[in-house]
Structure 1
């Protein structure tokens, strides 16, 4: 497979270091590392120049252990980027059968919180093909507290088949006491990394065979076994005329010695090599093309080979010797030297690097170098080009880091200023977003050019709309939008092409869809916003289509089928043409639900099958959602064997530890387990899913999980718990006026609602709770009325019976009253002193007399005939 520029750099960051053949074998430390593998964590901590990376590379090369490696930099102080590199590094170690789901999880990360991702990620690591070592090198470069928190959580909960090694220059910024107390931590520090006298002699026997034994002993004493010092001395002594005097002067603090010796080494190099080192010191990673770009020469490859052969602190980053970096201490020395002595060279080298990387499509590197060169115009140009891709990856902190590198006085383009504000919104930084919005609003008021002013106002409307859709800022949006919707002109296509859904089966489950929140305000604003877009030719833009899809799903939930169908037709036409799965799949599932609820079952199945045929077969996440939806239909019509076949395609199991990114599939499995009367297995999955769903703030998921829990608990005779779970679902339902969430569960939910109205009447409530309880009871009764209305329609369509064929007995009336209360056959048997078999016989006779076929229809028919007294 041909590698893209981005994948080449990713490969260089996740490749194990290539050990040199001439290395001193450090058996005592390798043995310590081997023993540490049986614990939870190994920490290798020492200042620069102590051979941490070299030691770990040598150990892994000799041990033959499965290993993954990530070379960290400051740029990984972004939770999404950090864990993307870690998960990519571990990907080859995952069993092939689980690789597809693992990659699906990686793609889901921008759409879920770090905590939710980590839970799922740790769960997926049970599929490691063999015990594996994961090395995170240069961990000290990470400055983001959220990354440190997530790493500490990962250490505590990761599988024991994965051993973590953290290597860095400083102590860890989180507590390690718990692992020390449990003897699960192996530590190698600076004192242990120092060469012994024997190791120093071994090193010099290869590197400097011209030195006498007394010189070696003196150097070991002077350096105290500091590895980089020994290496620097070896290079410097090649041409020293008076070795004794040189060694005598060789003392002091490690860093001072390093600077002194680096100066000695570099000063003796030929001019072309010295200039090459100074110019290329600006590069974090270098290959021949990057070197040629910053030096203006064409011999980058040969000079790299020359540095490597002379052992001049060049570290290979891959097994093909394409990408390199300088030893960190050496790089620091070179950069400080160039910045202080030749600032023009530093700026020009970074500027050339920025242009060179930009030309190669390596925009991460290009932006960093343009900022280092203080060419903010070039940096902004590269940032504008690169932003869509970084947004797609969900690396919002990385974008904000770049923005923060611009001096406050820099006047960014309107597009970039709006993007910065948008990033504050999607990262939840409401205060920063507010300040940024205030500046833009001031700029809008002060702009004299009317066209520019209108463009800025349109951009502000976009940003404020996202503020609304993310946080529910309704009043602010209404106040700003009043009077400008008719003049609304989109500022740039970029803002209207952002894909808001990378992983969810419904648009309403996304943050953009307010995670299931529904209200009259969301409906009104959605219609106003879409109307403005359509009037200016942006009706088929992604943001418009996502608003339409969310509205369509909301109308379905509210039982407004005609309005839902109309919007779905519009979304379907556009989403089919562009085939954006995050829009197309929710559209087709919602349409199938509409068909099913309208009694057109064949069309519901056909809609899902056609959608699957159109999708790329490798796009497992989206085809999986269509499979889940189909399985749910089979369950609703009682086709258990067909549902079981569909669920088998999802590769989910009752013994799994379910993760939020596949909640829809696991809830489908729970429904199958319920139909199979495997209540404990289904409840276990729901109890594991519920806290994840609550953490993500997903109202739709919380309502569905609570309702399923209520059904299962009631069936198991755990009445109090069942009613409490149902109350949770009703609380969310009442807040958002949910209807189909309950109606689609059909008869089992109706029985529960009847039981709830009796339960809440019996329950003593405090004055504080009384109002809430009364509101929920009213809401439950409204839902029951919906069920009754549906049953009336069914009876009217099948019978014109004006009266009973045969009068009901007193026992049958008592039975009918208990059915109305939602009691199970078991409870009815207890209350009527009958066997469950007798209850079934009486029920069958009762249905026959009423001319009905279900409990709901029996209650409706009895009410029509006046057989039951109102409570």
Structure 2
């Protein structure tokens, strides 16, 4: 079977036909003057080709690229590229076509949540900079782009473009860029309709290719009446060949280029058999088509004028007769029509096919695309059939598969294709939308969609297998809602219902989710063994033959170990999950494995491998939920502090701030501030802790399994700033919560902190009880850091415990660890610092040279003279420095570079 141009793989979905430049045919006239003008501008970063349809924009640029032999990437844009993730995916695919062996910075953003434009443009610029060879990027049909963030990405690239990079935008209307600035900086070449107009010489060449008998004088009249419009001239010449009077052609041309409308039937259809006419209309319904697709469509309507052999003849005739057919691949299997030609054919559809027949054609095309795994095209054509029930049925058949593959962005885009009525009244769409809102952390919209799903579910019959699955999905949403509100009984009830209604013998994302929440709720209620047993029951048998279920099993086990704080099992299963799953395919599961492994190393005070683990995390830092990624960064910061790597700690905190700003979520920015309060308190810098505390978020949910607990930072802040009673009340509530939810890591820290407070009040005997319980838990779970991180305030209590107990080996281990700890002092001597390795900065050698000169007071002119480069190049490098260091001016860049140990302080 003929394969589609789309690569329907797990790693990315790319329609290859959108990456091909228009194929050149012998009947095209070479636009020599325009080609030379384009080539003369190659050293500038941007060419805008803006003109109405039918002016030859794409063919002219294609001729230039082919004649001059430029390395290029060509992307034909359409509606789907208004999704930033889709746009990035296609840009990466273009890069992979050009440099198949390279790994690109932009790949780290594939599958990421919403990110700011400056981050995307910075990584894109870095990728282009590192190519070290000229590259032309052509964005065709840019007028379809409405997404402001994509406009911002392009504008930021053009502001300080990479060397040897040239962008060409082909569009019917100007993009919303700052054109005046680009023109003033000599960065822009504009090719407009008047520039694309055919000259008399070019029209004469076209005459010879079309074999027209038109005279030179008639050509001049034709050019004058069409203003050199290529399509008008072409159709006029074709009309003369068909015997249409020249005076009639000129008369038609005087009415706003109406020749396409007025003469279309005579120029295109005259002399064509009825079957060819019908094939033209049938294929014009498609955005792209192949011979196999045509045969499937014609078979669906039982039209005596159409036959299997006729479709092949039609393709050959279309190419011979110049029906504005554009090949989409090098093998000649896929085609599309010129936009103008397609629209004229679409106007005539009802002459040949009734509404009912058109509906059948769209449905047949949808079925063919679906069979060939081109789901997006299948859904688009199903919706065009105007039978929403049919379209929803197409969506139904694939939505669970897409959920199973974590294709969240793709699902979101498909739902957006439906009209509002379908999005609100289709239970499957509402259920899917609710689950997507949970993924994005939008609890309010999750609740809204869940309520709507409950209303729609009243029509379901619980005795029908398919309806039972939908009811199971509703319960899955309710167990999520219950868990997030802290209602573990409700979580267990609804999760049990979900597992009852959805069979466990097939991939079903929502059921797997309910298993996860069910086992988490069991673990939180203190039934860890039952939780692990349930995971084994659900996934163990399938895991031996299906990698997907092995991932689910390991992921579930990791979460339970995190909830319990069992460091041995966290390390074992965390490493197994991290090793087993590719972060590009299932990033959330990979990150859970990475956190399990890294946190276990930290909690057991084995700090030597955390740095290497962290390097893996940094490569994939945009792929998971911001909360999880940030907590992985916190582990690295804590390990730097424990090892006395103070300068490395300061750099890592700056990275946390940068990352939080990149995520763009105020809650995450506040969490980083809370963590900074914690670090300031440990350093003894109370004033700094107080100063940033108003900006801190101490109550970010959920924090069930993370080692760092921001609420306890707030307790410490209260205690150390004279609000002891407020701190003790908060600590009491947290201790109760830790016991109720069996959060043992949190309980250790709460109990030890309670002991310190008692000791501070001279209640030494009272302090021993919580401390003894904390020691027992710490020893059983091998969680030394929960006590070590409390600092020297706990030392006197530990020494007293040693004197009171006979079996004091574990306490002695802790005391030894305290002796080896490099504790922070506001007056650090060089002998107290473990010198960190130099930061692996993203700044290039040239950027560091420029920044060093800036730190010594040099202005841009001084720098240009010192380094023998242009003033424009200095500005370009400085702009990239600002992007990479997340600053807005020169002095802030110098300060940030000093904090990162890139420049001497």
**TM-score, structure 1 length as denominator?**
0.70
In the alignment, the residues of structure 2 paired with residue 459 and residue 123 of structure 1 have an alpha-carbon distance, to the nearest angstrom, of 42
Q: Give the structure 2 partner of residue 282 of structure 1.
A: 285
Is the 1:710–1:725 Cα contact (8 Å) retained in structure 2?
Answer: yes
Q: Do residues 25 (structure 1) and 26 (structure 2) align? A: no
Matched, 1:683 2:653: yes
Q: Does 1:466 align with 2:466?
A: no
Following the alignment from structure 2 to structure 1, what is the Cα–Cα distance between the partners of residues 537 and 580?
Answer: 13
Q: Which of 129, 132, 138 matches 2:141? A: 138
- 8 A Cα contact 1:26 1:55, kept in partner: yes
Q: Secondary structure at the match of 1:312?
A: coil
Q: Secondary structure at the match of 2:308?
A: coil
Q: Tell whether the 8 Å contact from 2:462 to 2:468 is kept in structure 1 after alignment.
A: no
Deviation at 1:337, TM superposition (A): 1.3
Kindly indicate whether the alpha-carbon contact (under 8 Å) linking 1:710 and 1:722 is maintained by their aligned counterparts in 2.
yes
Cα pair distance change 1:670/1:57, threshold 3 Å: farther
Q: Which among 349, 368, 374 is matched to residue 380 of structure 2?
A: 368
1:587 and 2:556 matched: yes
Counterpart-to-counterpart distance in 2, 1:693 and 1:758: 32
Correspondent of 1:695 among 661, 665, 677: 665
> Is 1:606 matched with 2:576?
no
Alpha-carbon separation, structure 2, partners of 1:684 and 1:562: 39
Listed one character per residue, the Cα deviations across residues 701-751 of structure 1 (whole Å, up to 9, x for unaligned) are 964x44553455567775433455667667226x768696347x9xxx99x
2:221 is matched with 218
Matched, 1:298 2:308: yes
Counterpart residue number, 2:538 = 574
The one-character-per-residue Cα deviations of 1:106-149 (angstroms, maximum 9, x if unpaired) are 2x24xx22x3598357526523434543333223334xx5x233
Report the CA distance shift for 1:772/1:265 in structure 2 as closer, same or farther (over 3 A).
Answer: farther
Query: Counterparts of 2:125 and 2:521 in 1: how far apart (Å)?
Result: 37
Residues 1:533 and 1:327: Cα distance change in structure 2 (over 3 Å): closer
Write the mapping of 1:266-345 to structure 2, written as runs, cut at 5 A. 266-271=268-273, 272-295=275-298, 296-299=306-309, 300-340=311-351, 342-343=353-354
Q: 1:165 to 1:127 in 2, by over 3 A?
A: same
CA distance in 2, matches of 1:739, 1:435: 27
**2:396 is equivalent to residue 384 of structure 1:** yes
The equivalent residue for 1:45 is 50
Q: In the alignment, is the contact (CA less than 8 A) between 1:707 and 1:729 conserved in 2?
A: yes
Tell me by how many angstroms 1:222 deviates.
1.8
Partner of 2:238: 235
Q: Return the offset for 1:696.
A: 8.0
- Structure 1 window deviating more from structure 2 (716-725 vs 20-29): it is 716-725
After TM superposition, the score normalised by the length of structure 2 is: 0.68
Paired position in structure 2 for 1:258 = 260
Q: Flag the 1:719–1:127 CA change in 2: closer, same or farther, 3 A.
A: farther
**Separation in structure 2 between the aligned mates of residue 535 and residue 102 of structure 1, nearest angstrom:** 43
Of residues 525, 529, 535 in structure 1, which corresponds to 2:490?
525
> Using a 3 Å threshold, how does the CA distance of structure 1 residues 205 and 389 change in structure 2: closer, same or farther?
farther
Aligned position for 2:73: 68
Q: Distance in 1 between matches of 2:570 and 2:439?
A: 35
Could you tell me how far apart the structure 2 residues matched to 1:536 and 1:657 are?
32
Contact 1:69–1:137 under 8 Å retained in 2:
yes
1:748-797 per-residue CA deviation (whole Å, 9 max, x = no partner) reads x99x77863454228xxxxxxx9988866877999553444775357788
Tell me, what secondary structure is at the counterpart of 1:520?
coil
Equivalent residue of 1:188, what SS? strand
* Pairing of 1:93-112 with structure 2 (within 5 A): 93=98, 96-99=101-104, 103=107, 105-106=109-110, 108-109=111-112, 112=113
- State which drifts further: 684-693 or 674-683: 674-683
RMSD, matched Cα: 5.1
d(CA) in 2 for partners of 1:801 and 1:412? Answer: 66
Closer, same or farther: CA 725–418 of 1 in aligned 2, 3 Å: same
Distance 1:182 1:278, change over 3 A: same
Residue of structure 2 in register with 1:732 after alignment: 699
Deviation larger for 171-180 or 199-208: 171-180
Say if 1:67 and 1:11 are closer, same or farther in 2 by CA, change over 3 A. Answer: same
Q: Deviations over 1:482-519 (max 9, x none)?
A: xxxxxxxxxxxxxxxxxxxxxxxxxxxxxxx8xxxx55
Distance in structure 1 (CA, Å) of the matches to 2:823 and 2:34: 69
Query: Paired residue for 2:414?
Result: 399
* Distance of aligned partners of 1:572 and 1:707 in 2 relative to their CA distance in 1, 3 Å threshold: farther
Can you give the 5+ residue segments of structure 1 that lack an aligned partner in the other structure? 475-512, 763-769, 806-815, 839-871
- Corresponding residue of 1:151: 151
Q: Is the 8 A contact 2:476 2:511 kept in 1?
A: no
Q: Is the 8 A contact 1:50 1:194 kept in 2?
A: yes
Equivalent-residue separation in structure 1 for 2:368 and 2:2 (angstroms): 21
- Contact in 2 for aligned 1:281/1:334 (Cα 8 Å): yes
1:756 aligns with 2:756: no
Find the aligned partners of 1:292 and 1:528 in 2 and give their Cα distance.
53
| Matched residue, 2:161 | 160
Contact in 1 for aligned 2:45/2:187 (Cα 8 Å)? yes
Q: Structure 1: how far apart are the matches of 2:464 and 2:620? A: 57
Offset at 1:332? 0.7
Q: Distance in 2 between matches of 1:648 and 1:593?
A: 22
